[in-house]
Structure formats: structure tokens, C-alpha cells
Structure 1
Amino acid sequence: MPQLAFDIAFFAELPKLQPTVRKSVIDAWEKFNRLTLDQLFKDQGLKLESLTQAKDQQIRTIRIDQFWRGVVLAPSSGETFVLLRVMQHDKAIAWAKKQKSSINEVTRAVEIRDAATLDEITPAYERVAEASPKERLFAKFSDGDLAALGIDAETLRQARSLMDKEQLEVFAPLLPQDQREVLQYLAEGCTVEEVWQDIVAPALQAATQPVDTSDYETAIQHTRTRFALVTASDELRDILDKPFAAWRVFLHPSQHKMAYRASYSGPAQVSGGPGTGKTVVALHRVKHLLGYLRDGDRVLLTTYTNALVNALRSGLDSLVDDPRLRERVDISTVDAFASRVLAEAPGAVTRKPLMSNQEESRWAAAAKATGFSGTAQFLAQEYRHVVLAQDIRSLAEYEAADRRGRGSRMSTAQRPLVWETVERFTADLAEDGARTWLQTCADAARVLAKSGPLYRHVVVDEAQDLHPAQWRLLRAAVPGRPDDLFIAGDPYQRIYDSKVSLKSLGIKVAGRSTKLRKNYRSTQEILRWSTALLIGRPITQLEDEGRNETLLGYRSALHGNGPAVHAAVTEDAELDALVAQVHAWIEAGVDAGEIGVSTRFNKTCATAVERLKAAGVPTAPLRTVDGASDEAKTVRVGTMHSFKGLEFRCVAVIGVNDGALPFPRAITPADVDSIQHETDMMSERCLLFVACTRARDSLYVSWSGQPSSFLAEAGVTA
């Protein structure tokens, strides 16, 4: 019986297709399921046509509607077809004529390459390489090594003509998918062994027979990381209606291996840059764990903000169909979990949370009462980074505390007065029936340490922003057994000052840690522009505070236009330019709900909402949008902090001026604490990085007056 599978590249283009076109795709898919092979080729509505002067006669087109055509891999044997792209009529035919299919002799997967363009440009690159004394990009790798990684003779010729990574970027979109990824890893400095482990080994299929490069039916079955075989029309509608659902079908081999490993002997971690699928892996891990729960066992899925909680809940609803299983997962922020633990503890005393903007004045009052002459800012940071971080509960413990990482000097003689001020601060809060959020977490951790764990598994998303007090709570929430903690995070998205060494807290992930390097959200052009904001800046790893993270090999498989930047003289003119940009996106076919506007301050958010509404654009603050129906119709505006973990097809980041990033009030003066100063500056850089990497297809960055120094340092000009 014929069937139509789908290439992941088709799903990547879904946001660009109108609902009527998506419906026509379903109609075409149903024909493949309903008709015989002979009827398919004769069907005049489908018009499964071969193309003259095509590089590969197995690449054909089908009619989607009057203006759109699908490009299909139609093998000469077997009954499984693959929809590769849906494009406007003339573009589809032109693209289809250039493509050539093949079967990788190592991974056994089907690959598609732009053979016509490669044939056209390769000779020119070869001539340049022959005339240059410069060493070629892959000179240190033998033909045998490359062949063992799945590089075939055609790609080998092209690889041998390349001089640098910039030339590889020209070739990359044209190359076969698996081979492209191998070359990109090698170009970034990875060894043959590392590439084998990360790319080739997870994709290998158990088989004793040699690869038959003409057996497309079998090869398509071996390409499940890029080809989706959808079995029901409802499932296809779900995927087309909700882009997240595509992740239910596609996991890169390294992602699938991490998410569905039968068991880990202890805590496990997945790390990676924005858009690499960490959250998706975490959700798939929850799905896997749910299949093995015993009676009474529960799972805690936790993260940092309420916006992320909502995203996780929606994602789990899409991934886990059985509501009885979903009910066994508690999804909440760590702070909300801590509040619940304290509220349910015997003899619980209700206390209201102290807002962060109230904390400094409270410290100032405590210092005045004890006669401490230092700043309230110093006290707040000392309490956060030393007292709470090390769970210090007495003067003796404080006098022995490790203050490495604090740039403000303090003699042994000064510590008793500081401790007295800490005790005054906490006593005043208790008297007023209040506590800080981190106090709440620290107290909840102590409760669980006595009463015992509440969960069988804890899965943590956006782990990089959690404080040691929060980690102690999570450690106490689950017994130390196999599969206790599963952690997803990215140190490059650390926008809150919460450096932590999991190793020092007894959460050891050595040997159970995977790094994801491939971005599935943003285009390579957006990614390259955004990472320039951080390149060369040391970022501490999650698992070990003594080691730095690296962006080595971080890249995207998607390509498009680079970010647009706009310099305005006044804030009013900048808002006018924002309105024009949003109108341009909508006129180009982008739904309002696919557009996000991000800025540093709530005040600027309110102004942007007002200006866009006045221009007739349906707009709302991020936190007030209610449900999927509102999201589809409304441009959402929020602070950079609130955009964390979200994504949009088009993103405008506004107000990126020298008074906002870095924000002076968020930066500890260097003469007060030089180490904290650098940490604060890095947090501000990461904040801009996070905002920019929310964009999938289009990024627009603007400012009025003087641009942020971060832009200038990254080489960005208007």
C-alpha cells in the first residue's frame, strides 16, 4: 500500500504555509493512503510528474493546489514516497530539478543534495584552492577517515576544495544532510572519534547485510530522524496545526539516545545553546519515565518562571496522550514547589514572599540597626552568594565560610557584625510574616531533609538559573537512586546571577552528560550574529564551577536572511520604525501571534503595546495573553527576562541602547567587587543573547541614541 512520509525540512517551513495550503497537504497525503500505486501515477488531480532535465528522475512534483506544488522523492522501487518541500509552483519545479537523492553507505539513510548547484560551483573552488598556498580545511583528515564517517566520493571532492569555514558555509545548505553535519563538526575542531560518537554511531542500524544503495524502501525506514511516517490523518493534522508536535516525530539520534535511554545510574544532564532541543529532550524523558512508574510514584517537572511552566504543560499535553499519565506529573516553578512544601509541613506558618525590589531597603534598615557601615548591596549579595549558597546557619559556620568568587574583601574581625546584620534582617522579616524566595527554598529543603522525598523522578528545565538553595531542595525532593534527576540547561543563557557547581552539591553527572550543538530554531545567520555577543567570554559550566563552557560546533541547519538593525534618533522614531517593521511582517504573511517584541524594561513594553495598538496591530503584554486562540491572533510584548524559553517566527528587540544594556543599576561597581562586576556584565550580555535567539526566521534589533556597548563590541553597526 503506498504511503507518503515527510522530510523534517518540510516541517521547518510550516510557519510559512497558509492554513488552506496545509489542508491541501492533508488531502494529498490521504490520496497516497487511498489509491493504488498505479492509480497514484494516473491521478490527474495529483499529477505525480517527472521533470525534464532533472538531476534525478526519482525527484518528482505533485499538485498541492493551483499555486503550490510539493516536491516528492518517488523511488523506482517500493511504495513509500517522501514529501521533501512545498513551494510556489515555479520555485518547486526549479528546486526539484536540481536535487539528487542517494543512500549513505555508512548510516544507511536517504540523503538529498543540490547536485546542480554543487556541480556548478565546485570547479571554481577547486581552481582557487589549487592556486593558493593555504592549507585546505580538511587536509589533516585522510580519505579513509572521511569515508568511515559516511563522506561519499562526490562530497569528498567538494570537501577537498574548501579552504576555510566560510567556504563550507556556502556549500553546507547544498550538501547531503548527514555528510554536511560531519564536515561542520570536523571544521569546528572535533576529532574523528567525537564525530563518530555524536553523529554516526547513534544513526547506525543493526544490520548484517551490506548496504543496498538502490533499496530506498529500507533506507527510508532507516531515516527516521529526518523522515516521518505518519499513520493517521488526525496525527498529521496535529503536526500541521501545532509545530511543537513535529518534535514528537523528530529527534536527532543524540537527542533520542539521551531521552529514551533505559536508565541512568544517577543524575543525568543535557546541555546546549538556544534552540538545540533541550526542553524537548526533557519532555521526552518525562514521557519515557512515565512508562515505568510504580503505584504511587510521581514526577516533578520544574523550571524557573511561570511562563516556562505554561510552555512545559502545553508541551507535555502534546507529547503524552493519556491524561492519567499526565496527572502523575506535577509541573511548577521551583519557588512554587518550595512554597507548597512549607504550606503542607506540620505547624506551617504562612509568610508572604518579599519582592526583590524591597530587599535592598530591608538590608539598609538592618545595617542601620546594627551599625554596619557597608552598603545594602554588599549585604544582599553576601547573603545570596555565601550564606544561602552554603546553607550557613551560625556565626561559627560563617566565620569558616569559603568566600572565593567574592571580589569584596572582608577581614575575620568584620564577620561577626555582618552575621549580626544577617540575623537582624531575617528576624525583621519573620516578625513581618515575610521571607525571600531563596529563604523559602532553603527552609523547604530542610523540611524535606527531615520528612523525606516526595517524588520518584525530578526533571529540571532551564537549570542554569537555579541557586544552590534551590538545588538542595530538588536534591531533597527525590531519593538518590538511578534516574533520580534529569537536568536540562545552557550556561550561555544564564541571565540571573546563580553560579553553581552541581558537583559541589553532590549532584554528579560525569559520564551521564550530553551536549547538543545543533540549533533547530534560528537560522544560521541569526545564530552567528547572536553568538558574536558572547564569543570569547568565559562561561562557567553547570556541573563544575572550575571549568568553562564552549560554543565549539554550535550551529544551525536552517538558513535565511541576517538580522536587520535600525538606529533611531529618538525613542518616538524608534517606535515608529517598530510599527513599520511589524506591519511589513504581517503583510508578508506572518500571523500576528508569530511575532514577539522584547525589550529590557516593563515601561518600554507598555509604550510599545500602546503604539502598536494605536496602529491597528492586535497586541498584548506577554503575561496577559490567555490560551492558544489569543496567541494566534496577538503580537506579544514582554521583557527580555520574560521571553526566556519562548520562541517566535519573527522577533523585534528594541531599546538596545547604552542606558539599557548594560543597565547601570544591575551592575555592581568594579571598585566595590570586581568579580561581581564581571558576573553582572555577563548576565546582561546573556540577556541580550537570549532575547535575540528567540527568533526563528527574522530578527530586528533597534535603539535610539547611543547603541549598547555590547553591539559595538560585537561589530554591529546600523
Structure 2
Amino acid sequence: MPHLAFDIGFCTELHKLQADVKKGVFDAWQRFQVRTLTQLLADPGLHIEKLRNARDPHIRTIRITGFWRGVVLAPESGDTFVLLKVLPHDKAIAWGVKQRSSINTVTRAVELRDAATLDQLTPPHEEKTEAPSESRLLAHVSDGELASLGIDADTIRRARTLTDKEQLEAFAPFFPPDQCEVLQYLAERISVEEVWRELVAHRVPAGGTGAVDETDYDTAIRHTVSRILLVTASEELHDILDKPFSAWRIFLHPSQRRIAYRPSYSGPAQVSGGPGTGKTVVALHRVKHLLAHLRDDERILLTTYTNALVTSLRSGLTALVDDEQLRDRVDVMTVDAFASRVLTTAPGQPHRRAIGGAEEERRWTRAAEAVQYPGSAQFLAQEYKHVVLAQDLRSREAYEAADRAGRGSRLTPALKPHTWRAFEAFTSGLEADELRTYLQTSAEAARVLTDNDTGTGPPYRHVVIDEAQDLHPAQWRLLRAAVPARPDDLFIAGDPHQRIYDSKVSLKALGIKVVGRSTRMRKNYRSTQEILAWSTALLLGRPIDELADTATAESLLGYRSALRGTGPALHAATDEATELDALADRCREWIDSGVNPSDIGIATRFKKTGDAALARLTAAEIPARRLRARASDPDDAVSIGTMHAFKGLEFRCVAVIGVHDGALPFPRAITPEDLDRLQHEADLLAERCLLFVACTRARDGLYVSWSGEPSSFLTEAGVRVSPA
């Protein structure tokens, strides 16, 4: 029976199609389900048509609607067709005639390239390239090494003309995607061995030895699990068509699947990677894998940093795990909520409300005044967080002997007792009012679990942690105590480049060793390469500490997107009112172009800026709501929230507004350099990461605006700050 499979590139563009076109795709798929190949070829409704002057006779078109056509790979052997693209009639033909398919002799997968455009690009480079061959981009890699990584002769010939990474980026949209990814890794001087291990090895099918029949497309399609999705049930296809990005939750890239469904890890395991690389999806699939092997009465904790992310994780888990009883064995909550639960259910623990933010700052000021501390309240708060709570120091003697490495302020031995008295004034004041800070709650909960003498043991068999980069050592101690130290105890997903709080952690010092069980993902599946490159410029050259203890800093080298599109639009306004008017115009343009309001997000540094944006959009009759929506808010509405609240979320189009001098970096968020040089640098980096996080929430469209002078982060990154 014939089948219509789907190229994963088509799935990522589904959100751009109108409802009648999606229905046409479903109808075409159904025809393949009920007709023989002979009937399909003769079906006037489907109208499978060869293309004149096509680079590849296997590329044909099918009718989707009266105006739209699908471009398919129609192999001569076998009966599985692959839908590659859906476009208006003339554009579909123009795109289809330029494509050429082939079978990779290493991975044995079907590949597609824009042969016509490559033929246009290559001769000018061959003629104009005067640099000697040894100075060209891939001179350090031999033809044999390239071939062993699945680079075919045609691509090798073209790649040898390139002299820098910018030229490779110009060719990238037209090369076969898997081959291009290999070339991009090699261009970053990542070793051949590492490229094989990270990219190629898991693409080679089991038993993949011997000669490859480069005409056997039927077998090759079955081997192309990294790009071709074979849908066998109408319900599954409806889900993909109705919720386009759910395709990424149903379909894992082989490198991601290898991490998520590894039978077992001998201890804590970590996956890191930039925004959009699929860390959260991998974590969710890991939960699904672990659920399948739980014994009676065992439970899993799936935890993250914010309530918004908890909601997202619950939604993702529901999509992945159909069995409600099985899902109920997973507790999904923030680390703060878990800490509170531990203390609430522990016998003999006093009830205390958790505080933070401005209320905590006021109490530090009060404590400094109470003991007439000669330094600042800000210093006391940071010292308590980064030394006392981080190292779980419980006495003055322990504090006076503590290692203050990482603190950029000098503290004389004579001043340490006075500092401890300020800590005591702060904590005793909280106790008198039946209060705790959020980090104190985690620290106390960790002690309760560690000192547990009830014989019940830790409450979980597995703990899976998402957005791990912002957790404080006290929170890590709590999570370490929540699960016995044994295989598959902790699964950690995080990205140091998205660290927007100033927690400094040594996992090894906390008893969490991931050496040999750590994987870094470099391929972005969310944002276009153009958006990603622009956003990455905000952080390039800034040292980022890894989560694990290694000799090297975290790097963005090799971080690439699988998607292509347009770069961000920039807008400079004279004042806030003009900026908000332009925002309303931009949102209206997105909506008029077919973007659902719920697929638009607006990120701001301050809540008051978001309030002003909400009022302006409402006045323009554009449905809008706060990120934490109320029951009365419209469902299909633009979401508005702070950059902190946008962490871990994604939207088709994102507007980042108010990126002006005085907002990013925000002076009140920056420790004065003369108070603590290292903390000053850490605070500046956190503000940079905050902007990076906000910009990388966008899939297709990014809009960045400011009024007055632009943020120094933009100008320092070399961003062109004149109006787009």
C-alpha cells in the first residue's frame, strides 16, 4: 500500500499554511492510504505531475488545492512518496525544478539539495578564489576524512572553494542539511572524531556496511529517520496539522533520541545546549522512558525554575504520555514548591511564609542598621547568598574559616564577626515574624531530607531537572537529597548562556558528578539561523562557566539553526509613546499576514513597560493578555510578560521592546564595581543573558525596539541600531 511521508522541513513550516491548505494535505494523505500506486498515478484529483527541466526526475508535484501544490519525492522503486514542500502553484514548480535528491553512501539516507542555486554560486567562487588551497576554510580536513563523514564528491568540490565561514553560511541553505551541519562543525575546528561521534555515528543504520545501492530509494527513505516522518494514523496527522510544533515532540532527532532513550546512565547525566536545541523535549522524553521502568510505589520529580515553565512541562508530559495513571506518578513543580512541600509535610517543622525581592531587601537594610554594619546591605545579602547558604555554613566559626573564592570584595578577619552578627540579626528577625527566604526554605528542606531518620529514605527514584543553570547550591543540595545516589538518579538539562540569575555552582562539590555522562547539543530547532546569529552576537566573547566542572568554558562554537528565514527587524523611536505605536503596527502586520495572536509574544525588562504595551494594544483592538493569563482573558491573544517570565517559552513572533540605555543593563541590578568587581561582572553578564534569552524565544520573526539611546549591549555587539 502506498504511503505519503513528510519531510521534517515541511512540518516546521505548517504554521504558515491556512486551514484549507492543511485540509488539502490531509486529503492527499488519505488518498495514498486507500489507493494503489496505479490508481494514484491516474488520479486526476491528485494530479501527480512530472516537471519540465527538472534537475531530478524523482521530483514531482501533487495537487493540494486549486491554487496550492505539494512538491514530492516520487522514487521509481517502492511506494512511499515524501512531501517536501507546499507552495502556491508557480512557486512550487520553481522550487521543485531546482532540487536534486541523492542517497548518502555513509548514512544511507535520502538527501536533498538545491542543485540549481549551487551551480550558480560555485563558479564565481572558483574563479575569484585566489587564496592557496592550504589557507581555505576546510584545508585542515582531507577529502578522505570528509567522505568518511558522509560528504559526497559534489559537496566536497564546492566546499573546497570556500575561504571563510561567511561563505559557508551563504552556501548553507542549499547544501544537503546533514552534510552542511558536518561542514559547519568542521569549520569551527571541531575534530573529525568528535563530529563523527556527535553527528554521524547515530545516523548510520544498524548493519550499515557494504556497498550502497544509490537507486534504492525505498530502503533509503526508511533509513532517513532524521528527516522523514512516516504517519500511519489519521489522528496523528491531525495532531501534527493542528499543532505544528507538536511534530517536534512526536519526532526526536536521532542524536536527541540517543540521549533521551539511553537504557541507563551509571549516575547523574547532563545535557546542555543553546536555546532551541531541544533540551526540554529531551528531558520530557527521558521522563517517559523512566516511567516505563518504574517499580511499584516509585515516583519521579520533574522540576524547573518558574511556574510558567511548570505549566509548559505539564502540557508536554500530557502530549507524550497518554496513560493518566502513569502521568500521575510524576510530580511536576518548581524547586521552591518542592522545598515548601518537604517542610510542610515534615513533622515538627514550623510554618513560615517564604519571601524574596523587595521584602527581603528591606529586611537586609534593617539588619545592617541594627548592628551598625559599616558596609552595605547589598553586600550582606550577596555574602549570605554566595557564601553562607551556598556552603551551608551554620556557625560563626565555619563562616570565618570559609573559602570566599569567587567573591570580588575583600573582607578583613576583624570584620567577619561583625558580618556574622548582621546575618544573625537578619535570620532572627525572620524567625520572629515566621518568615523564611526562598533559598532558606531550600536549605532547610535539604537538611530535613539529609537528616531523615524515619527510615523512609528519599522520596523519589528519579529527579529530572529542566533550566538547571539558574539553581543555587542550596537548591542543588535539596535535589541531591531527594533521590538516592544510584544509576539514573539525576537527569539535568540546562544552558549556561541562559543563566539570568547569579548563582555560582560546582556540581562536583555538591556530590553530583556528570563526567562521562555529559552531552552538548549544538543544533537549534526553534529560531531561524538569521535570528540566532544576531542574538548570539550579544554573548560572543563573553566567558560562560559550565554547569559541570571542566577545564574549558561553555562555548557557542558550532551552534547552528536548522531553519532559514529573515533576520530581526530593529526600530528606534524618539519616545515610549512612539515606540508603542510602532509595536501595535508590527503586531497588526503579523496578524494580517496570518500569524495567530497567541503565537505572538512581547518581552519587556520591566512590568510597567508591559502594562503600557497591554494598554496600547487594547486601544488598537489587538487582543492581548499578560503571560500569566486570568480566566477572563481571551485565549487567542498576544502574550505580554517580562524577560524573566519568558524564560523557557517560545512564540512564532517575538517583540522585545524597551531595549534602551538605562533598562539593559538596569543599574539597580548591577553591583557597583568598587563594592565587588567579580559580582559586578557577573551581574552585567546576567543582564546580557537576559536579552539573549528574550530574543531567542522567536521562531520566525524577531522585532527589537527602543526609545532614545539604544542599550550598550546592542552597540557593543556590533548590532546596526539604525531603524530597519
Class of the TM-score when normalised by the shorter of the 2 chains:
over 0.9
Q: 1:55 to 1:635 in 2, by over 3 A?
A: same
1:270 and 2:275 are equivalent in the alignment: no
Q: Distance in 2 between matches of 1:178 and 1:657?
A: 40
Q: Distance in 2 between matches of 1:510 and 1:313?
A: 30
1:640 and 2:643 are equivalent in the alignment: yes
- Structure 1 residue runs without a partner (length 5+): none
1:79 and 2:79 are equivalent in the alignment: yes
With 140-149 and 346-355 compared, the bigger mean Cα shift is at 346-355
Q: Distance in 2 between matches of 1:647 and 1:397?
A: 44
The 5 A counterparts of 1:1-16 are 1-16=1-16
Q: Quick one: which amino acid aligns to residue 41 of structure 1?
A: L
Residue of structure 2 equivalent to 1:326: 327
Residue of structure 2 equivalent to 1:97: 97
The 5 A counterparts of 1:560-599 are 560-599=565-604
Q: Secondary structure at the match of 1:533?
A: coil
The 5 A counterparts of 1:453-492 are 453-492=458-497
Residue of structure 2 equivalent to 1:422: 423
Q: Distance in 1 between matches of 2:631 and 2:551?
A: 43
Residue of structure 1 equivalent to 2:26: 26
Q: Distance in 2 between matches of 1:640 and 1:368?
A: 34
Residue of structure 2 equivalent to 1:494: 499
Q: Distance in 1 between matches of 2:108 and 2:392?
A: 54
With 334-343 and 87-96 compared, the bigger mean Cα shift is at 87-96
Q: Quick one: which amino acid aligns to residue 566 of structure 2?
A: N
Residue of structure 1 equivalent to 2:527: 522
Q: Secondary structure at the match of 1:572?
A: helix
The 5 A counterparts of 1:514-553 are 514-544=519-549, 547-553=552-558
Residue of structure 1 equivalent to 2:175: 175
Q: Is contact 1:540–1:546 with CA below 8 Å preserved after alignment?
A: no
Residue of structure 2 equivalent to 1:359: 360
1:711 and 2:714 are equivalent in the alignment: yes
With 392-401 and 14-23 compared, the bigger mean Cα shift is at 14-23
Q: Distance in 2 between matches of 1:288 and 1:128?
A: 53
Residue of structure 1 equivalent to 2:675: 672
Q: Distance in 2 between matches of 1:679 and 1:388?
A: 18
Q: Is contact 1:265–1:483 with CA below 8 Å preserved after alignment?
A: yes
Q: Distance in 1 between matches of 2:67 and 2:224?
A: 30
Q: Is contact 1:442–1:469 with CA below 8 Å preserved after alignment?
A: yes
Deviation, structure 1 residue 710: 0.5
Q: Secondary structure at the match of 1:413?
A: coil
Q: Distance in 1 between matches of 2:701 and 2:630?
A: 22
Q: Distance in 1 between matches of 2:630 and 2:672?
A: 38
The 5 A counterparts of 1:595-606 are 595-606=600-611
Q: Is contact 1:224–1:250 with CA below 8 Å preserved after alignment?
A: no
Q: Secondary structure at the match of 2:60?
A: strand
1:81-129 CA-to-partner distances (Å, cap 9, x unmatched) read 1111111111111101111111100001110011111122211111112
Q: Secondary structure at the match of 1:389?
A: helix
1:620-665 CA-to-partner distances (Å, cap 9, x unmatched) read 01111559x954x100010000000011111110000111000000
Q: 1:431 to 1:100 in 2, by over 3 A?
A: same
Q: Distance in 2 between matches of 1:700 and 1:134?
A: 41
Q: Distance in 2 between matches of 1:133 and 1:23?
A: 52
Residue of structure 2 equivalent to 1:41: 41
Q: 1:178 to 1:546 in 2, by over 3 A?
A: closer
Residue of structure 1 equivalent to 2:615: 610
Deviation, structure 1 residue 546: 6.3
1:645-688 CA-to-partner distances (Å, cap 9, x unmatched) read 01111111000011100000000000111110000000000000
With 412-421 and 326-335 compared, the bigger mean Cα shift is at 412-421
Deviation, structure 1 residue 134: 7.9
Deviation, structure 1 residue 290: 0.6
Residue of structure 2 equivalent to 1:513: 518
Q: Distance in 1 between matches of 2:318 and 2:44?
A: 40
Q: Quick one: which amino acid aligns to residue 13 of structure 1?
A: E
Q: Secondary structure at the match of 1:522?
A: strand
Q: Quick one: which amino acid aligns to residue 654 of structure 1?
A: I
Which of 653, 658, 683 matches 2:661?
Answer: 658
1:25-65 CA-to-partner distances (Å, cap 9, x unmatched) read 11111111111100111111111111111011111111111
Q: Quick one: which amino acid aligns to residue 437 of structure 1?
A: Y
Which of 687, 693, 698 matches 2:696?
Answer: 693
Deviation, structure 1 residue 423: 1.3
Q: Secondary structure at the match of 1:154?
A: helix
1:340-366 CA-to-partner distances (Å, cap 9, x unmatched) read 010000123211111311112101111
Q: Quick one: which amino acid aligns to residue 111 of structure 1?
A: E
1:369 and 2:370 are equivalent in the alignment: yes
Q: Secondary structure at the match of 1:126?
A: helix
Residue of structure 2 equivalent to 1:51: 51
Q: Is contact 1:228–1:249 with CA below 8 Å preserved after alignment?
A: no
Q: Distance in 1 between matches of 2:132 and 2:410?
A: 56
TM-score, normalisation: structure 1: 0.98
Q: Is contact 1:499–1:545 with CA below 8 Å preserved after alignment?
A: no
Q: Is contact 1:354–1:437 with CA below 8 Å preserved after alignment?
A: yes
Q: Is contact 1:441–1:470 with CA below 8 Å preserved after alignment?
A: yes
- Structure 2 residue runs without a partner (length 5+): none
1:560-584 CA-to-partner distances (Å, cap 9, x unmatched) read 1111111111111111111111111
Q: Distance in 1 between matches of 2:468 and 2:320?
A: 21
With 114-123 and 566-575 compared, the bigger mean Cα shift is at 114-123
1:309-354 CA-to-partner distances (Å, cap 9, x unmatched) read 0000111111111111111110000000000010000123211111
TM-score, normalisation: structure 2: 0.97
Q: 1:244 to 1:479 in 2, by over 3 A?
A: farther
Structure 1 runs, 4 residues or longer, greater than 3 Å off: 130-134
Q: 1:709 to 1:475 in 2, by over 3 A?
A: same
Q: Is contact 2:623–2:634 with CA below 8 Å preserved after alignment?
A: no
Q: Secondary structure at the match of 2:491?
A: strand
Residue of structure 1 equivalent to 2:251: 250
When the two chains are superposed, the root-mean-square deviation of aligned CA atoms in Å is 1.3
Q: Distance in 2 between matches of 1:573 and 1:584?
A: 17
Q: Distance in 1 between matches of 2:215 and 2:223?
A: 14
Q: Distance in 1 between matches of 2:711 and 2:14?
A: 35
Q: Is contact 2:625–2:634 with CA below 8 Å preserved after alignment?
A: no
Residue of structure 2 equivalent to 1:136: 136
Q: Secondary structure at the match of 1:234?
A: helix
% of aligned pairs identical?
A: 67
Q: Distance in 1 between matches of 2:13 and 2:630?
A: 25
Deviation, structure 1 residue 252: 2.0
Q: Is contact 1:134–1:163 with CA below 8 Å preserved after alignment?
A: no
Q: Is contact 1:173–1:557 with CA below 8 Å preserved after alignment?
A: no
1:8-27 CA-to-partner distances (Å, cap 9, x unmatched) read 10011011112222122111
Q: Secondary structure at the match of 2:138?
A: coil
The 5 A counterparts of 1:424-439 are 424-439=425-440
Q: Distance in 2 between matches of 1:575 and 1:147?
A: 53
Deviation, structure 1 residue 253: 2.1
Q: Distance in 2 between matches of 1:571 and 1:130?
A: 51
Q: Distance in 2 between matches of 1:133 and 1:342?
A: 67
Q: Distance in 1 between matches of 2:294 and 2:648?
A: 28
With 539-548 and 570-579 compared, the bigger mean Cα shift is at 539-548
1:544-566 CA-to-partner distances (Å, cap 9, x unmatched) read 27641111100112111111111
With 15-24 and 664-673 compared, the bigger mean Cα shift is at 15-24
Deviation, structure 1 residue 414: 1.1
Q: Is contact 1:199–1:253 with CA below 8 Å preserved after alignment?
A: no
Residue of structure 2 equivalent to 1:344: 345
1:110 and 2:110 are equivalent in the alignment: yes
Q: Distance in 2 between matches of 1:481 and 1:8?
A: 37
Q: Distance in 1 between matches of 2:133 and 2:508?
A: 48
